[in-house]
Chain A
Amino acid sequence: MSAEDTHRSVEVAARVERRWAAIAVIIIVGMALLAAFAGIHQATMPQPRVETTDPSRIHLSGEFVESNLGSVLETNGNVTVRAIGQQYSFTPACIVVPVDTPITLRATSADVVHGILIQGTNVNTMLVPGYVSEQLMRFTRTGDYLMPCQEFCSFGHEGMWGKVKVIDKTDFANRAKSGGRLSCVGQ
């Protein structure tokens, strides 16, 4: 190869490389923009606030005392579900919620790190002791969903499976009339 040929081939190589680098950068910027668009426009951003709670006191007072766990129909028609995870179960072990309703899940852990995952949905959040996890959800069909603990929480982890029962809206409203917190445990 003559010096001129070498010079030309260096140039070609550099040009091809630059083009490829530009394509790669465009792909990446595109992906970040898509994520930002989905987050802002579709309101799918993660929980914005960091809330804390003392796990050694949650059984005694505050939002996560036992009598306050389960589903509650709010005055605006939305539903709030409160739950805790502990080695090796969820309380309530079976959550009941209405279909086609905006639901806020608020949950925490009483001991170690756990996770809540509702199979067949995008509901998936960690339960870290000391912090409250909040997740918005909405079910489009009735039925039973499995809700395993998705994070290793020591030797009994594989036995930690909860359930979600999604029922008809009017059924739920009827059951909610009597007040209190609802769950499907024992039904």
Chain B
Amino acid sequence: MLVNRKLILAHFWFAFAVFGVALTLGAWQMFIRSPIGTWLSNPELYYRSLTAHGTVMGYVFPTLVAMGFGYAISESALEQRLVGVRWAWTGFWLIVLGSVMAMIPIALGRASVLYTFYPPLIGNLFYYLGVVLVVVGSWIWVALMSINLRVWRKAHPGATVPLAMYANVAGSYLWAWTAVGAALELLLQIIPVAAGLKNTIDAGLARIFFSWTLHAIVYFWLVPTYIAYYTIVPRAIGGRVYSDTMARIAFILFLVVAMPIGIHHTFADPQVGAGFKFIHSAFTALVALPTLLTVFTICASVEIAARLRGGRGMFGWIRALPWDNPMMLALAFSFVMLGFGGAGGLINMSYQLDASIHNTQWITGHFHLIFGGAIVIMYFAIAYDLWPHLTGRELIDLRLIRTQLWFWFVGMIVTTFPWHWVGILGMPRRMAYFDFGDPAIAPQALSVTFSAIGGFILLTSGIMFIVILARGMRAPQADAGAYRFAVAVHQPTTVPVALNTHALWVALMIALTITNYGYPILNLATTAGTSVPAVYVGAQ
């Protein structure tokens, strides 16, 4: 039951429009920093572009996808009209307003601080206010997801919450809490300085606040992808979810252990002692658990589909999978990229191994493989799956959809593998250009060129994606029926209270955050003399 289709479509279209812009900027950046496009003499333009790319890809695009998908899940899984539609539109317009407000100072070169802000670098006030509006808009969604679930519970006392909605609400809580870190940094530290009320800032403390947000935000981006793995893919390829319980456990593990690990971003920082770095390293290892569980459960779910289609043998069933089904293709690509990206992540989580690749192009390769690769390819799949239900029209270009997914996969590999390689060689990230004439850097030229080619393959894929959706808006009308989610092999009749509610896990998430961040933050906040003069961007 999808009633508020316009609301959901508005979220998706705005998300994909800004995604298209940011993708173009990304390809351009790779081109001008490669040996094939060294004509740019003004690195300032590069950092403007990088700030816009990161801000859109990090904050605006995934948030809107999660929100649009969340509204769709709420209506179709709960089979209940969305409560608070007017609020939902308010949240949407706040995000549109915030995005525009942030982009203007970026375009003018007054906020080239990248999406990670980098205090004591301070950009234009309106950039930060724009980001705050985006976050506030998304918090309205968090509240609405919670309220809608509560309304449904009242109407269905004691009933099991559908898996998709259970996961969706867990993801929204994760986001609400992880955004608090950056919100504290912005409201307590950066915005007072950007507004001219103060002129010093504690950069070390700001980095800790930001690390609070910076890792769990990745899991917020990941949740829609995992919801698609569990509740869309098995249905789309004619299989079943292997285990409903395991799925719930995976989502609550994300909720609990994705939060208190962000200090692994500051392994090389001087303002945190060794003890908390080790604790965060161990917790980072723990967050591999829900992914390991998911890989198993999804492979088993897919195997069920293959065996139902007559697949046999230890590995013979793989051939029986519906490989021409875009959803199957997207899942396979997503898993391959998740595998490589996850292996890289295990290297990053270790303090000792991290030292050899910290802040190099390896890191860029790693998170593009996870976010741009494994996660975004499933956003495409979600859009393809939902589109007929949102538009009342059929997507008929199956061959084009498959080509688009292939391009994205190949483009992502061609882009990120060379990045990993030059990262090992010690190439730093976030640089506008390199002097490839230097004999010590010259050997990296070929790898950088490959990445730039990968960027254009990705851009081609992005354009195809938008064309497919746009053509889908004008295809012949067809009734797609009710939007359904995959069912488990053994649908649970009763679920333990702990796996049907969130309160316990939210409490645990908050408690773990406080134990893992409380002391470092308190310690830095009470150490005197660590505030340093702000350096205003573009003020010279």
Contacts and interface: CB of A to CB of B under 8 A. Distances in A.
Interface of A: 6, 9-10, 13, 16-17, 20-21, 24-25, 27-28, 31-32, 34-36, 38-39, 42, 44-52, 54-56, 87, 108, 111-113, 115, 117-120, 122-134, 144, 146, 148-158
B354 to A, nearest CB: 8
B440 A13 contact: no
7 contacts: A47-B270, A115-B358, A119-B426, A130-B271, A133-B268, A144-B440, A156-B43
A155 to B, nearest CB: 5
Given A24-B293, A28-B288, A54-B529, A45 B274 contact: yes
Most chain B CB atoms below 10 A, which of A17, A150, A151: A150
Nearest to A21: B293
Interface in B445-496: 489-490
B515 interface: no
B204 A46 contact: no
Interface in B425-459: 425-426, 428-434, 438, 440-441
B270 A51 contact: yes
A24 B293 CA distance: 8
B526 interface: no
Contact of B268 (A28, A35, A118, A125): A125
Nearest to B434: A158
A47 to B, nearest CB: 6
Contacts of B281: 32, 35
- Tell me which of B43, B114, B270, B489 has the highest count of chain A C-beta atoms within 10 A of its own C-beta: B270
B273 A50 contact: yes
B432 A49 contact: no
Contacts of A128: 203-204, 207, 269-271
A91 B18 CA distance: 42
A113 B203 contact: yes
Given A21-B293, A158-B432, A48 B274 contact: yes
A125 B429 CA distance: 14
Contact of A117 (B282, B351, B426): B426
Contact of B278 (A13, A35, A55, A134): A35
B277 interface: yes
Contacts of A25: 289
B338 to A, nearest CB: 15
Which are the 6 A-B pairs with shortest beta-carbon distances? A119-B426, A24-B292, A150-B359, A150-B428, A131-B270, A133-B270
B530 interface: yes
Contacts of B355: 44, 122-124
Interface in B184-205: 202-204
Interface residues of B, number: 71
A125 B351 CA distance: 12
Interface of B: 43-44, 47, 112, 114, 118, 120-121, 202-204, 207, 242-243, 246, 266-275, 277-278, 281-282, 285-286, 288-289, 292-293, 296-297, 300, 346, 349-352, 355-356, 358-360, 425-426, 428-434, 438, 440-441, 489-490, 523, 527, 529-533, 535, 537
B535 A155 contact: no
Contacts of A24: 288-289, 292-293, 296
A118 to B, nearest CB: 8
A152 B430 contact: yes
Nearest to B429: A150
Contacts of A146: 426, 438, 440-441
Contacts of B289: 24-25, 28
Contact of B277 (A16, A46, A56, A148): A46
Contacts of B44: 155
B185 to A, nearest CB: 14
Contacts of B533: 55-56, 111
Given A28-B285, A146-B426, 15 more contacts: A13-B489, A24-B292, A24-B293, A46-B273, A111-B120, A111-B535, A112-B535, A115-B268, A129-B203, A132-B270, A151-B118, A151-B430, A152-B114, A152-B118, A156-B43
Nearest to A134: B270
A17 B300 CA distance: 10
Nearest to A149: B428
A158 B432 CA distance: 6
